Amino acid sequence: MLKMQQINKIYRTELVETHALREFNLSVNEGEFVTVTGPSGSGKTTFLNIAGLLEEISQGQYFLDGVNVVGLNDKERSRLRNEKIGFIFQSFNLIPDLNLFENVDVPLRYRGFNAKERKRRIEQALEQVGLAARMKHLPAQLSGGQQQRVAIARALAGEPKFLLADEPTGNLDSLMARQVMELLKNINKQGTTIVMVTHDAALARCGQRNIQIVDGQVCDFSLYDKNPQASAFENPQTAASTTTTAASIA
């Protein structure tokens, strides 16, 4: 699904060169739920921006769903982003002037669907996150958890193969965070690949695999890596421990 090879990302200013990512390698398979952790300034955000085609890479290769994205122009990258990637942000990033329906509508507009198709997808996506009844509400009228669910609906409406989540529960209280994680888990079960960036070690265990980025490089020490089928949710231990793990998310 996602394959990064020997990626370098260098930020240049007049005075300094910063290697945000150096010789960065990562593969994510279709249907995986991968969590990415690392200390502040390690390159997590850069990785996310590159994975989400928001920034270009300085060197290396990046294949997204089999497409080599190096050298694509802005229009092609935007198209790819629109069709294959769904974003979920820590601060939800709903557009405050638009109601829920219109917010979910945004990526569909850029996809170029007709009105009927858009309506169908928006209703379906909001249904999926349990907010179909509040379509005409503005984001400010919702709680944080509800807003994040709208953001997820917006990410899902385009039926992307790949969800990129950036601290999706960072601004939420524990109960809401749990709901959101459950939702993501379900989405993953239905086949959507998820990459989630977090600094929370407990959350990191929610994925099937955890990647740690240190100084712009993948620090591949995760035990889960050797057992890709294992995850915090599908731990072969007891059902009770699943509950504990879920609670520890908070």
Q: Of 87 and 224, which CB lies nearer to another protein in the complex structure? A: 87
Q: Does 58 bind another protein (CB under 8 A)?
A: no
Query: Which residue has tokens 């990459």?
Result: 195
Site for another protein in 131-160 (CB under 8 A): 154, 158
Q: Does 41 bind another protein (CB under 8 A)?
A: no
Nearer to another protein, 15 or 223 (CB): 15
Place of tokens 């990637």: 85
N- to C-terminal Cα separation, the chain? 30
Of 59 and 93, which CB lies nearer to another protein in the complex structure?
93
Q: Which of residues 168-187 bind another protein (CB under 8 A)?
A: 170-171
- 28-42 burial, b at 16+ Cβ within 10 Å, e below that, comes to beeebbbbbbbeeeb
Q: Contact with another protein (CB under 8 A): which of 17, 74, 140, 223? A: 74
Beta strands in the chain (DSSP E): 2-12, 17-28, 33-37, 59-64, 67-68, 85-88, 162-166, 193-197, 209-214, 217-219
Our finding on whether 38 is near another protein (CB under 8 A) is no
CB of 109 to another protein, least distance (A): 5
Helix axis angle, 100-111 to 144-157, nearest 10° = 20
By the rule CB under 8 A, 79 interacts with another protein: yes
107 binds another protein (CB under 8 A): yes
- Residue 226 binding another protein, by CB under 8 A: no
Specify the residue, 173 or 234, whose C-beta has the smaller distance to another protein. Answer: 173
Figure out which of the listed residues 21, 34, 166, 180 binds another protein, where binding follows CB under 8 A: 166
Element (H, E) at 109: helix 100-111
Cβ–Cβ under 8 Å, residues 200 and 224: no
Residue in the structure block whose two tokens are 């990302």? 9
Distance CA 238, CA 145 (A): 29
In the complex, what is the shortest distance from the CB of residue 98 to another protein, in angstroms, rounded to a whole number? Answer: 8
Under the binding rule (CB under 8 A), the answer on residue 111 touching another protein is yes
100 or 232, CB closer to another protein?
A: 100
- Taking the least distance from each CB to another protein, the nearer of 159 and 225 is 159
Distance of CA 150 to the CA centre of its chain: 14
What are the two backbone dihedrals, phi and then psi, of residue 35, each rounded to the nearest 5 degrees? -105, 145
What is the length of the chain?
250
Closest distance of CB 77 from another protein, Å = 8
Question: Which of 43, 52, 139, 216 touches another protein by CB under 8 A?
Answer: 52
| Residue numbers at the binding site for another protein (CB under 8 A) | 45, 49, 52, 54-55, 74-75, 77-79, 81-83, 87, 89-91, 93-95, 97-98, 106-107, 109-112, 154, 158, 166, 170-171
